[in-house]
Structure formats: C-alpha cells, structure tokens
Amino acid sequence: MTMPTDSLVQKLLGALNETPILDAHTHLVSGHLGAKGLHDILLYHMAVSDLYAAGCPSGARLTQYPGWPDKAEAHRRIEEALPHLERVRNTSISWGIQIILRELYGWFDPVTADNWHDLDWLIRERADDHFWHRDIVRRAGVERICTEISRREQGHDDDLLHYSLEWAFFTRCQWGEYDTALYELERCWGHTPATASPIGGGARPATDRVIHTLGDVHDAITWYVDQIPIDDIISTATHLSTDIDYQLVSDAEMEQALARRATAGNRERDIYASYIHEAFLSALEARHGDRLLFQFSFGAEPLPFETDSRLSQRTIGQLAAMVGRHPKLRFQCSLSSAHANQSLCTLCRELPNLSMAAYWWHNFFPTIMARVMAERLDMLPLNRQVGFFSDAYCVEWTYAKAAMVRRVLATVLADKIRMGQYDFDGAISIAREILYETPQTLCGMVPAE
C-alpha cells in the first residue's frame, strides 16, 4: 500500500502495522479460508454494488455458501463486469481490490479482457493452499477471527477461528415479506443450527413444522435456545430492522395476529417480530446471559439485491428500552448508519451492557470511518468499542480491510495528536486497546498462543 507523505501519519501507520488485531466478525469457511478465484476478490458483494451502480446488469451476489460459484458462473460474471471496472476505479472498494492484487498477488496492471484469465489462474492455483491462506492472515497482523458456526465444516482452522451463531433472523425484514419472524422460527424448529437465510426476498423452502398457536411459538423458542451450542460459540449474531415498530406485545395480541397470518401486513409483521424477539431475549438472558455476547447489526435495510442505509430515531429509542429491559445480556451493535453513530454512542454512555463494533457495510468507506472513529474515541471508553471486524468472505478481504482501517486510524490519531489530545505513545496504546484488548474483554476472543 502506498505510504502517506505526512511524516506523523507515516510514523503512526508503521506502529499500527505492528499492532495485532482480532477480527470480531466474518463469514470465512474453515478449511477454505481464501479466494477460489478472481471472482471472490473482484466480485465481493460490496464491489458488485459498485459495478451495478455503474451500469453492470447484475446486482445479485454470486452463488452463496453452502454452495460455491462454478467456473462457468464465475467467469460469466467477471466478463460481465469488465466493461464497468474503469467507472468504479475511484471507489474505496476498488482501492481494497488494488491492495489485494498488488500486495498479495504482485499484480499491478488494470484488469482487462486480455489479461483477466491470467490473474484468475494466479489466484485459483492457490485456492487450496492452506499455508498460503494462513500466511495472508499473518501478514494482515490478525491473530484470531470470528466466523459463523455453520461454516466450521470439519474444524480444520479451530486454532485460528472463534465462532458465532447466525441462525434465525427474527427481526430482519425481508423484501416483500410480513411473516419473516414466524418463518425463521419455523425453519429452525426441530433442526440444529444452520446457515441464516439470505438477504432479500424470494422463494422460501417449506418447513417441517408450522406455527399455528401461541403454544407453538413458545415450544419453538424453547427448542431454539436449547440448540444453542454454548460451548462452541462466543456470540450470537442477528439484525434489528428499523422498519419494525418494537413493542411489548401481549399474548392475546400475538394470538390474534397469528390468526391473520394469511393476510399479514406491516402491523402483523411488527407484532410477530416484537413478540418472538422479546421472548427470545428473555430466554437467552435466563440461560446464557453471562456467557454470550448478543451482537446485532443496525441501519441496513433490504432492497431487491442488497441494502440501503436507514435508521429511524424511533428505533434508536426502542433499542434503548430493549437493552434496558435485559441488563444481564451484553449487547453489541454493528452500525451501518453514520448519522446515527452519535446517538448510539450516547446510549452506550448510559447503558453499561451496550457497546459498539467497528465499521459495518455502508460505514466502511474512509471518510465515514474517520468520522465514526473520531466520534467514538471522543465519546466512549476504550473498553466499550471494538476497533475492527472485516465482514470478509475470504482472507484476502480480511487483509485489505485491515490495511484500510489502519490507514484511516493513523490519520484520525494524527489529528488528535496535533490537537494536543493524545501524545504518540498514548495514541498507539489507545489503538491497541480497541483493536486487540477490547475484543477479548467484550467479545470473549482469545489471542493466539
């Protein structure tokens, strides 16, 4: 990565490059940590959004885990994207791609119709090289990584990976759906943890069991909590949608709403999600509140392909009430709405069981990251903010995002040193705290031995 010309920023970046990182949230697959081809780098879902905005006809993700894109699909999508790469060369996601290709694969040329096959081969020949993937993690300065328990496979990378439970999403709205909370509970009822449903509407496979009564709701929630692999995970992960009107719902209101499922609309959606979510939090607090971190994403709402960044003040107020009702649960927010960062920080200052985690999705752009970093450093204690997670699907993107975060953090710390707020050693100590120490105390991550 090109070094900054500012001598203070350069000195800070050098120190930050020596500071270890714990990656608190990813979607890596154990035993298959790295890119399987150029598509995993060039068509990371955030890059697909860039290309779609530039005129590329496809806005959907490639085949998602537990499947993999075959070579025909991957190559078709790359060829489709090629004419639009020039128009997105300005974006920060393209900067991340450049970091990966230059620093990991020694590729400095623009990706074109004439050379992309060579680049794809260069990446594919290392797709099954476990030592190469572990070396990328080492070069990124990342000691441990958290991913979904459903991606553990045979546990080949248990020494590197922690695990989180992403199973049912009771409070994530889906495009054009109103009974998502019920369906998410139904598909888990009678089963063990599996991959969460994909973002966006679409066909829903039939479930083995169907919820008809209030008793069914409680039986399914009990089943769900009983299946939590408490000894194998450090957290649960879900999403809280801002479209839902979170409320305390009575048994009678839930029963009446269940009877209207066939004609459900926004009102029923809010009742289903609120009732099930509150019952789940109560059960989780009673059973595992002292052992699990309840991680949730906030401020990204489904569109037909991906999401937009939206978060209402009403929802922020309802979150405060929710966190306050469950003082034994530890909540951690991954925020995708820059304008709400200050509001969320004020909640953290008054709710001891709420913390903030890094820079998620629509916040992962240098100008927004810099603002969020500066606000949190001014407003929150170091033990209430986690400074990094990559949300990566391959370790190449873990590497790129770690490099980008270090670069932005160096500029933020330099500004605070110039202002007289920190000295140099204090700034590096602060960075180490949020990148390495706090993920241990808040998330339960353990450094490498």
pLDDT of residue 448: 80
- pTM of the model as a whole: 0.95
pLDDT digits (tens, 9 = 90+) for 72-87: 999 999 999 999 999 9
Give the mean pLDDT of 96-115: 98
pLDDT of residue 56: 97
Radius of gyration of the chain (CA): 22
pLDDT of residue 200: 55
Q: 105 pLDDT exceeds 60?
A: yes
Confidence class of residue 1 from pLDDT cuts 50, 70 and 90?
very low
Cα–Cα distances (Å) from 255 to 181, 189, 259, 268, in that order, read 14, 19, 7, 11
| Beta strands at 293-298 and 330-335: parallel, antiparallel or unpaired | parallel
pLDDT of residue 179: 97
Q: Which class would CATH give 134-443?
A: alpha beta
How many angstroms separate the CA atoms of 161 and 93, rounded? 25
Cα–Cα distances (Å) from 48 to 102, 146, 334, 362, in that order, read 20, 24, 22, 14
SS3 state at 250: coil
Do 436 and 20 form a contact (C-beta atoms < 8 A)?
yes
Domain coordinates of the chain in residue numbers? 35-126, 134-443
pLDDT digits (tens, 9 = 90+) for 293-315: 999 999 999 888 899 999 999 99
Q: 13 pLDDT exceeds 50?
A: yes
Mean pLDDT of the chain: 95
* Ordered DSSP codes for 256-286: HHHHTGGG--HHHHHHHHHHHHHHHHHHHHH
Residues found in the chain = 449
pLDDT of residue 25: 97
Give the mean pLDDT of 13-40: 97
